[in-house]
Structures are given as structure tokens and as C-alpha cells.
Structure 1
């Protein structure tokens, strides 16, 4: 068997083939990457008009947010590099994210504490997500933004709900509590006017916002206490949570609300219904018993004689004729008692037998 030697390709042609292979491989990779799903986008915030002026409304909307969370939107200077310290928190607006992950609100633009470049920032404090978009603010000074300094740590010294149940609350009136929060700045740098965000909700969730007071600057190694009234809805029942956030500090407390007075009234109403029904049944039984002749247990009805003495009958009739309530009438019951010689009432059968005996016994025969 003879071997055949294949001539080698020229160097230039080999280089061309290698470049062509690289180009085809790159195109294939790009086509596969382009065919895949688009990269997921995070939460965003936009404005209808990027040009704004202090004191005028700014219409904004957001998309891609977690449904049910509360978003705070505010105008910030210095590109919000220092967080809330660069933002106009006094005129911030709050919105609740809808089921499709969107929200829409209108806030009044104000002058942020830091110089522009300005942005419109949206923050969801419960989940630590934020987004921002550029905003041109008329009349605001421009300056190069400075690098942010490390965040100042804040400690929650105490957080509690006070205010026991009032009398009206026991019968379904709205429950009123007071949230007392004590914050402390353990660092060596002062903390600016960070917003205090508080929300409440049934069970373990707290996503319904509560109006909070304006905060003040927190000096180094200083403490500040805030008292926020919390109003729970009418006929509240069960456990409710109240939570919030201040700068980097978060807190959560809970309270139990039960309208015992309302529950007691419902229980008393049920008992009264049962008692009324029992009384009605008992009275009905007593009426039926009152319509029957009374007799000793186990005794037979009083026996009536077939014949009676005419003279005694005349005496009874004469005595009964003097009845003042019924002139000229004789009490049938008294007549039966006298002639039968028994004070017990007789039944109707014996009474009919007595009447038949009288009709069958003429006075002439008795005499």
C-alpha cells in the first residue's frame, strides 16, 4: 500500500481560513445571545416633564416595583449621592405600588438642601430599593457633586406602643395607640434630617403609611424621641404591627386589639334569645296544664253518683243564685263539688255523665 502526501496550504490561505472561522463563531454567539430573553430591568421612576420649578407640581410615575410596597418620591440635589441629606424630604410624596408594579403621583417641587445636578428619587424603604431620574430645576444653583461620606449608623434605643383600650374601643370604635421611638446617633458626625417613615398593617405586615412629624438634625452621641399617634380602623380584631425606618435603623412593634364589649353584647344577645324561647315554651306548657283539671298524681277522677238528693240540689242552686258577679247563675264547678262531695275538679266525661243522670231522673221518681 502506497502513501500519498497532501501538499500543505499556502500560509496566506491558512490565515484567511482562520479569520473566517473566528468571524463565523462570533456571529453564532451573538445570534444565540440575541435570541435569548432581554435582560430584566429593575424599578424605575420617570417624570412627564424633566423641567421643573420650585412650588410647581411635578407628575411622576414608576414601573417595575414590588406590588404593595410604599414608595417615597422626593427632589434631591447633588445627584442624591448623600442620600436623604441631599433631598427635600419636607415636600416628599408617598404612593402605594399597584398590583402591576406601577405607581403614579404628583408632588410639589422644592429647593433641595444640596445644589444641582438634581434628580427625582424614589425609595421603597421596606425592601431597600431605590431609583432616580434626572430633573432640571429652574433657579437652582449648580455645583459639582461631592463624593458621599460613609453612612452614619443610627441605633433604635426603644420602640413601643402605648395607650390601652378605651371604653369605646371595647365596642368597636377605632383604636388609638401612640408609637414612641427613641433614636441615638453613636457616631462622631451629625445626621441630617432623615425622614421618619412609619406604617401599620394587620398581622405581621406594615404597609399602610402613618403621618409622621418633621425630624430634626441628630447630633453625635445624642438621642431623639418621637411620638407618633397611630389610629387603627373601627372593629379592629386581632394583632396589628407598626413598623418604620429612620436612616439605616428599622424597628417594628405589635399590639393586640379585641372588642370584648362588642363580643360580650353578642353573647348576651344569644343568651337572651335562648332565655326568651325557653320562657315562651314554659308558659305554653303551663297554659295547657291550666286548662286541664288538677288531680293528685296517680288518682282517678272523682266518681259522681247516678242520683242526687233533690233537696240538696235545691240548696246548692239557691246558694248559687245569690252570686254578686253573675246574678241568677250558679257556678257549675261549685255545683259539681257539692254534689260529688270532692273538692277536686272532675274531668269532662264525668261532668257529661252527671248531666245525663240528671236528665234521666225525674223529680217525681226521686220523691
Structure 2
């Protein structure tokens, strides 16, 4: 390879790596700048869709996007939370969504605001809303909105099916209070769940109503937990600036009981088989050693009869079967009557069929 060819290869490699380097640099720059939200068109018409995109957000987090008036200085009180949209951030820290534009509750200047449900990071971009009135710009931002969480609870005890691995159904009850002197707009109630202490899986966004000053409202949201849930689970969420969380323990005791019963049945069956095998073994040993259970003395006449029957055996003259003696002495019937068996053999030998052969 000549020097000119080597330089050409190096230049080609450098050109192919430039896009990747640019992408890495852009991602690092986006992380340094923090989260952003943008719109392709800065003009929104009520009732028409508005597209939005974001960069630099935490992967896996949930972001709520809404149109706000008054520069969103009062937070959710200035925003059209009824038409807000929620997006899940991708692995590269970006999201895309579409929401329906509406008139914000406060006069413009208007913005498109994005707020992360986890961590509270936010970003906004200027937006012109057609037909929205313009108001005077305040010199200082309004005081922060405050919401108190009075009580949270999960109700609904374990049903019969849950004991055997069916999905668990609970009801989350949240009581919120507005301690301020101004009413709060219809802020979204975001509910999430997850195993352990990580409640990051969305349940839903139930409809809410305006929260008057010094008033409180109670919301009940059905929550469905997964099948065969085992251990502790958290259900939490956020309403405006207020966050809440509650835990519950789920154990399929029915499945555990069935598993324990199966182990007991296995042990019981094995013990029965072992006991039966031991009994058969004892029976065989008893049959072999039955002579040890015989009495110490026998009647001479009985023993003489057994010996005479054995001595008359033509096949083994002068020999007596030990088993025959034991059975006779123990009072059991003989297995074979040698005299009758010999008579049967003589009859078969002299049969007409034998003569024909």
C-alpha cells in the first residue's frame, strides 16, 4: 500500500466516525443543558392538535405537557391541565407527543410547559394561543402553589383468587386539601405502581375537578396489580406539587399451601412405601425362620407319620422334605399329598389316550 492509499483509508475512516462523534457530543451537550421541550409551530389553535418533543429527560420517567398562561408563574393554576398529555421518556432521553390545544385559565403570555412526574424537573417554551387574551406581565412570580395530602390508603382485602396467583385488585383513596386562598385548576392526578419502593409504572390519569380554596377532595382510583405478585408493592403518584405513596404486601398463600401439601403427600407416600417394603421383608424373614417359632417337643406319632410318608417317596427313598416336616409340626396342611399324587400319576399312565399313542 502506497502512502497515498494509506492517507485515503484514514480519511474515509475519519469521515465514517464523524456522525457518531457528533451524536455523542450532542447527547452530552443536551445532558449539560438540562431538559428541553420544543414545538415545530409556535402557534396553537384551540381544539387543534399540537405536537411537542423533548430532549435531555431522565430515561423511563413520565413527563406531563400542558399549555399554560401567565408564563406558568403560578404552576398548575395557570395551566390547562384538563387537556394535558403524558409521555414516557425513551432510553435516549427524548419523547414525542400530541395534545389538543385549549385556552389556558390565565391570560397570555402563554407557554408550553413540561414537568417530570419523578424528580420534578421542568422546561417550557413560548407558545402563541389563537384567541387567548393578553394580560399584564407580573414583575415578580406569584407564590408557589401548595397542596396538602391529608390521607392515602389502599383498600380491598385479598380475594380468593389472589391466594392462588390471580391479579390483585385494590382501591387507592387519596384525600387532597388546598390550604391557599386561591382555587387550584384541574391538575392531573398521576398514579403509578411498582415492586418494592419503586412506583414508576403508570396506572392511569383519572379526571379531577377544580379544588377551591381551603377545600379538600377525595379521589378513589382502582389499581390492578400483576398476577402471582409476591412481596411488597408501592402505589404512589402526584397531584400538582404534592406527592404521595403507600405500600401493600401480597403473598399467594394458597399456592404456598398447595406446594406444602404436595411435599407432605410425597413424604407420606414415601413413608407408606418404605413401611410396606419393611413388612414384606419381615414376612420373608419370618417364613425363612419359622422353625424358630416351633415348640420344643412334638408328638412321636405325628413325627413318625411324617417320616413314614417321606420314606415312602419313590423318587427319594429314605429322605424327608424339611419344609414338609415344618408345616406338619406347625399344624399347617401339607402342600402336596404324596400318596394322592402317585395315584394320579398311575391313573394318567394307564389312560386310554396313552394306549392309543
Length-normalised TM-score, structure 2: 0.70
Q: Are 2:154 and 1:154 equivalent residues in the alignment?
A: no
Cα RMSD of the aligned pairs, angstroms, is 3.8
2:230 to 207, 224, 237: 237
Residue pair 2:192, 2:235 contacting (<8 A) in 1 also: yes
1:271 corresponds to: 264
1:65 corresponds to: 57
- The structure having more radius of gyration, on CA atoms, is 1
Q: Deviations over 1:146-195 (max 9, x none)?
A: 43421243222211222211111111111112121222222333222222
Distance 1:289 1:40, change over 3 A: same
SS in 2 for 1:294: helix
Q: CA deviation at 1:312?
A: 11
2:134 to 137, 143, 165: 143
1:336 corresponds to: 324
Q: CA deviation at 1:90?
A: 1.8
2:254 corresponds to: 261
Residue pair 1:180, 1:227 contacting (<8 A) in 2 also: yes
Q: Are 2:243 and 1:250 equivalent residues in the alignment?
A: yes
1:112 corresponds to: 104
- Which residues of 2 match residues 214-363 of structure 1 at below 5 A? 214-287=207-280, 294=287, 299=292, 308-310=307-309, 336=324, 340-343=328-331
SS in 2 for 1:40: helix
C-alpha separation in 2, matches of 1:248 and 1:345: 99
SS in 1 for 2:57: coil
Distance 1:158 1:340, change over 3 A: same
1:76 corresponds to: 68
1:198 to 188, 191, 197: 191
Q: CA deviation at 1:238?
A: 0.9
C-alpha separation in 1, matches of 2:333 and 2:61: 84
Distance 1:92 1:189, change over 3 A: closer
Which structure 2 segments of 5+ residues have no match? 1-27, 314-320, 343-357
Which structure 1 segments of 5+ residues have no match? 1-36, 315-332, 360-367
2:161 to 168, 172, 189: 168
* Number of residue equivalences: 295
Residue pair 1:79, 1:119 contacting (<8 A) in 2 also: yes
Residue pair 2:75, 2:145 contacting (<8 A) in 1 also: no
C-alpha separation in 2, matches of 1:81 and 1:231: 36
C-alpha separation in 1, matches of 2:221 and 2:328: 90
Q: CA deviation at 1:286?
A: 4.2
Q: Deviations over 1:23-67 (max 9, x none)?
A: xxxxxxxxxxxxxx9692010112344444333333322211122
1:40 to 32, 38, 56: 32
Residue pair 1:199, 1:206 contacting (<8 A) in 2 also: yes
2:120 to 128, 135, 159: 128
Distance 1:293 1:104, change over 3 A: same
SS in 2 for 1:105: strand
2:174 to 181, 184, 189: 181
Distance 1:57 1:292, change over 3 A: farther
C-alpha separation in 2, matches of 1:216 and 1:282: 73
Structure with the largest fraction of helix: 2
Q: After superposing the two structures, state which structure 1 stretch, 186-195 or 196-205, moved more.
A: 186-195
Distance 1:339 1:169, change over 3 A: closer
Q: After superposing the two structures, state which structure 1 stretch, 298-307 or 123-132, moved more.
A: 298-307
Residue pair 1:305, 1:340 contacting (<8 A) in 2 also: no
Q: After superposing the two structures, state which structure 1 stretch, 40-49 or 104-113, moved more.
A: 104-113
Length-normalised TM-score, structure 1: 0.68
Distance 1:52 1:285, change over 3 A: farther
